[in-house]
Amino acid sequence: MNIRPAPLLLALLLASCSAPAPEPGAPQRPRGIQFSPNSEPLDGGPLGTPRCEEAMAQWFARVDANHDGALDRQEFLSDARAQFARMDLDHDGFITADELWTYRQPHVQPHPRKADDKTERRGSREPTHAVSDGQADPVMSADTNLDFKVSLAEFVAQADSVFATFDRDHNGRLSLAEVQTHGCVPLPNRPILVD
């Protein structure tokens, strides 16, 4: 018997990311979440979702520990480690899709269903951990060994790659303009930042 590993792996991956349609009255599909470069949801809390540039400026000011108007690699990676700790709900050193889903629930906004949306009646299956319209998740895409969980080492390596991508002038520091320019790209056009 000759089994092709790539289609089998893809089938297993798709099967693991699906779940039955939600029960009537259950929370609706989440709308896309705006993220910091280190995957922190930036929703503005009870004040609603701020413009991306404003949210990035607030995040930038908080992460700029020495208040010099730039983020160096150490500040950026320190924020990545802190964000990992916030998302690792069971503190086992890994982030799973379930932990991530639980962590993000306070930050999601219901996605209004269309009047002709017959998803529930058809009983189709929808992904439960998708961020937005089939785009790669900014956290789970760090899972380089494909074990369906993200380690601190994987997350920090991805953050280091994000830093290098955002640092267009290669001076080892990120300006607010660099963060806003590269962090506020709409998701469909944003590259997946994994080496």
Digit-coded pLDDT (tens) for 28-83: 333 557 889 999 998 765 556 678 899 999 999 999 999 999 999 999 999 999 99
Q: Hey, where are the domains in the chain?
A: 34-106+136-195
CATH for the 34-106+136-195 domain, from 3.40.50.150, 3.40.50.2000, 1.10.238.10, 1.10.357.10:
1.10.238.10
Q: What is the pLDDT of residues 99-140, one digit of tens each?
A: 999 999 888 766 555 555 554 444 433 334 444 456 789 999
Strands 94-96 and 149-151: antiparallel
Q: Where does 50-187 have alpha helices with state H?
A: 52-63, 73-87, 97-104, 119-122, 152-166, 176-183
195, two tokens:
């080496």
Q: What does the DSSP 8-state code read for residue 149?
A: E
Residue 80 main-chain phi, psi, to 5 deg: -60, -45
Q: Please choose, from the candidates 125, 89, 105, the residue with its C-alpha nearest in 3D space to the C-alpha of residue 27.
A: 105
Report the amino acid identity of residue 194: V
pLDDT at 136: 84
What predicted TM-score, i.e. pTM, was given to this entire model? 0.69
Per-residue pLDDT, averaged over 6-12, amounts to: 40
Is it the case that residue 166 has pLDDT exceeding 70?
A: yes
pLDDT at 50: 75
41, two tokens:
């949801």
